[in-house]
A = this chain, B = another copy of it.
C-alpha cells in the first residue's frame, strides 16, 4: 500500500494527537489499515493500553480489554508486525533459500518447514538461489529483511558469508548440503553411507560397469554420494567406469543418460545423484533405448520421493529421512534463536536402502 496521502508534516511544535491525513469522504474507499493509535482514540484510552491488550502476558483490566477489543473490532485493527519487529528486534520470519521448487524433494521440504515453523508463529520468506553462481548476492538480500533465521536448502554458502551471519548472530542451517569451511550448522542424510550401500547392492548383483550421474559439481551432497559410491567400488577392486553431470535437472539427466547409453560400451548400472534425475533417466533409458530396467540395466536414485515407489518406476533408492531432517533443522534454528552462540551442529541422519524393481535383486511389483 504505497501512496498513502503524505500527511503534511506537523510544524516544529509537537502536536499530540495530530489529526491524520485527510481520508476520502467515502469511508469504504481506499482507507488504510488502522493503527493502535486509532483504536486508542476511539476507545478513549492511551495507545500503550491498546498495545497491552494485544500483548499476551500484559496486565490489563477486564473493562479496558472490553473497550479496546470493541474499538479494535469496529476499526478492523490488526497489529502491525513490521512495526513490532522493529522494536522487538525479531521479525518472526525465516528466510528459506532453495534452488528449485520443481524437484519434489525440495517442494516437500519447503512444505514441511512451513508447517513446522508455523507452529511457533514463524513464516517463510522465499528466495531462490542461482543454480550456478554464488548465492551470496541473494543472501545479501535476505539479510536486509532482518530475518530471524536462515535455512539454505541444498544451497551453497561461502565461508565469508557464513562468518558474517555468525557475526550478526543470525541462526543459519544448511539443509541437504554442507560446507567444509563455513562454520554453520548443517543437516544432511548419510550420503556417503547411502551411496556405498547402493554400490554394494549393485556389485553383489553382478554389475561391473557402473556410472554416476552427478548433480551439480561443487555440491557437497553430490560429491559425498560420489565419494561413497566410488569408495565402495574401490573396496571391491573396481573403479567408476563412467561419469556424467545432470545439473540436478531432468533435462540434464536425460541428456546424461542419452550420452551414457549411446556409448559403444554403455554402463550396466547408473546411479543418479537424486531421484528427480533418476526418474527422468529411467524413463529415457526405457523408452528411448528400450533398456530392460532392473535386468540389463539397473538404475538407482537418492531421496525416495513418493513417485519412486510408483509401479511405473519402481525406482530403487536410498531414503532420506525428510521429516527428521526438517525437524532437526527447525530445532537448530530455535535453539540458536534462544541462545546465541551455541556451537554449530553438523547432523548426519541415517537413511535406508530401498531396493525396488529398477535394480537387479529388487522386488518386482507383483502387480506390474
Contacts and interface: CB of A to CB of B under 8 A. Distances in A.
A368 interface: yes
Interface in A22-57: 28-33
Contacts of A100: 111
Given A123-B126, A126-B114, A337-B2, A101 B107 contact: yes
Interface stretch (A12-20, A240-248, A309-317): A309-317
A35 B347 CA distance: 34
Interface residues of A, number: 72
Given A30-B341, A287-B311, A126 B128 contact: no
A143 B76 CA distance: 11
Nearest to A367: B287
A108 interface: yes
A168 B33 contact: yes
Given A101-B108, A148-B1, A169-B32, A78 B140 contact: yes
A102 interface: yes
A81 B144 contact: yes
Interface string A316-339: 000000000000000000000100
Given A30-B341, A167-B76, A102 B91 contact: no
Contacts of A127: 114, 123
Contacts of A288: 367
Contacts of A337: 2
Given A2-B337, A126-B124, A78 B29 contact: no
Given A126-B124, A311-B283, A169 B1 contact: yes
A302 B280 CA distance: 22
A251 to B, nearest CB: 10
Contacts of A29: 341
A145 B81 contact: yes
A85 interface: yes
A107 B99 CA distance: 13
A89 B1 contact: yes
- Sort A-B residue pairs by CB-CB distance and give the 6 closest, nearest first: A101-B111, A312-B312, A107-B107, A30-B169, A124-B126, A2-B90
